[in-house]
């Protein structure tokens, strides 16, 4: 019989409950928005990595000394003409 009185919520209690409810719904909405954005983002990992252009590869091979300037010019002309022949 000791606790029959003083169980009503005071002004600060109402404030705490209201703030708690606002924070709860803000958290729920934030999680929902982040989940929605994550699920609707285009999948970047499905893209095939871009290969460098053939002229860049040819330039790199010349810089490394794998081919000489004559071979570079011949292959570059063949690439630009569109008539690459396989060896």
pLDDT band at residue 35 using 50, 70 and 90 as cut-offs:
very high
**Which tokens go with 47?**
């893209």
Rounded CA-CA distance 85/87 in Å is 7
pTM of the model: 0.41
Which residue in the block uniquely carries the two structure tokens 């404030």?
Answer: 15
Say if residues 17 and 9 touch (Cβ distance below 8 Å): yes
For 15, 28, 68, 82, the CA distances from 62, given in Å and listed in that order, are 75, 59, 6, 20
Residue 56, helix vs strand vs coil: helix
**Over pLDDT 70: what percentage of the chain?**
76
């Amino acid at each position: 019989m000791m606790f029959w009185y003083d169980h009503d919520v005071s002004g600060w209690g109402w404030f705490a409950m209201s703030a708690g409810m606002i924070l709860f719904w803000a958290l729920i909405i934030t999680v929902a928005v982040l989940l929605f954005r994550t699920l609707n983002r285009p999948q970047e990992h499905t893209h095939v990595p871009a290969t460098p252009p053939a002229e860049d590869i040819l330039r790199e091979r010349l810089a490394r000394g794998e081919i000489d300037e004559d071979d570079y010019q011949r292959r570059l002309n063949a690439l630009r003409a569109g008539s690459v022949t396989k060896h």
